[in-house]
Structure 1
């Protein structure tokens, strides 16, 4: 495991869909991505910040996408898929995993902003490869296996006034 040190290279991967639904369902508020990025980097050397978003044809989503870019996130946008029965699906799990594994060679720490338990195996893999893994999310909506698989867990609920708009 890599400890925090001066000059440490860090990448931040934000699962915007997961964060949005959590913040809305618990607090009826939105995430402050600027604060999230600042706290995730903690003065270390930022290699890349990626925000994974879904285009759902919502009136305010374009301004949100632009704001992410202004803050310093690269946006990865996926179109929502609507099936014949009317159901909809869109998630970034595979894309996040591929980007994390690719970035592992270029960073000392990977910060994952998500509570999705599907990423527990990714965390274990990255740690095995010598990459420190930190997870940022709200503990009440974060899978226990994800918390256990990370080197550090930062409960955004403990500082909700910093992380929520």
Structure 2
């Protein structure tokens, strides 16, 4: 479909799109080209990302790589909005970082409303659903794209949703840079090694096991034998559908909601026991899995 003559704005939640994925990053030039090929004039292209200033100050190589990365994005035609990553230490000594850029992106998109006919949102975060609705009420066409951990509320709320595999949306190509390491031909030894994809499982939090003061709990997991077992998890391995890490109090809300959690099995940081990692709150029924935002979960608790 062509949208000749429309004024377009692109707003990218960079960290949401690349979180936890084995990819080298977004091809920002391809994103602009995608919109221009639809016949539109791109008058605003913004990307939002968290910046680890402490690490950049201490690690010269990392600082050089990150500055080049941001420079490449600007050269592709985007304005880069940086938000310093804030680090917090819990009572148990665990340090976690937070650099949510949702508010900045949402405000900018709404402020540009009168200048745009079309908005392309790069995010799978369900918290943007209200922003999408507000833009549509002002007569704007809103489309979005993401790769993983996609909120059903968001994908169904936009006019068109794009994703690489085309599942539950329109298919897109070329938005991701090719991973050169993945393109490298394997050695004879590597060919002999069996590579297995981590298994994603579904479980619930064991009643009464979540410790808000300590930031950990246990999942009730069904084993292949049919029996259930308790699997340790820490809040630092939990993410909402948009990639944001919940606070300990928000994790308490998740525990109270009784919602399901999708996870993989991994090894604890001390390396001495199996635990749950890459945990995402979901609503699962059969093969259908809906990724939940904090608002989705809170509404269940209040219901």
TM-score (normalised: structure 2) = 0.49
**Cα distance, 1:4–1:151 mapped onto 2, change above 3 Å:** farther
Instruction: Determine which structure has the larger helix proportion and give its number.
Output: 1
Structure 2's unaligned 5+ residue stretches are 57-61, 178-303
Contact 1:123 1:133 (8 Å CA) reproduced: yes
Q: 1:128 aligns with which of 110, 117, 137?
A: 137
Shift of 1:160: 6.7
Out of 64, 68, 74, which is 2:69 matched to?
Answer: 64
Q: CA deviation at 1:101?
A: 0.5
Distance 1:46 1:4 in 2: 14
1:55 aligns with 2:60: no
Q: Which sections of structure 1, spanning at least 5 residues, go unmatched? A: none
Quote the residue 1:96 is aligned against. 105
**Equivalence for 2:296:** none
Higher relative contact order (CA 8 A, sep 6+): 1
**How do 1:17-32 residues align onto structure 2 when only pairs under 5 Å count?**
17-21=15-19, 24-25=20-21, 27-32=22-27
Q: Which residue of 2 aligns with 1:163?
A: 175
Are 2:79 and 1:74 aligned?
yes
**How far 1:28 sits from its partner (Å)?**
3.7
| TM-score scaled by length of structure 1 | 0.87
What does the per-residue CA deviation read over 1:58-88, in whole Å, with 9 as the maximum and x for residues that have no partner? 5121111001100000010000001233221
**Partners of 1:50 and 1:74 within 8 A in 2:** yes
Which one has a bigger Cα radius of gyration?
A: 2
Distance in 2, Cα, partners of 1:71 & 1:8: 21
- From 18, 27, 33, the counterpart of 2:28: 33
CA RMSD, 1 decimal: 1.9
Q: Deviations over 1:3-27 (max 9, x none)?
A: 9532100000011001111xx52x4
Q: Is the 8 A contact 1:114 1:135 kept in 2?
A: yes
Aligned to 2:126: 117
Match of 1:15 in 2: 13
Assess if the C-alpha contact under 8 Å between 1:133 and 1:151 holds in 2: yes
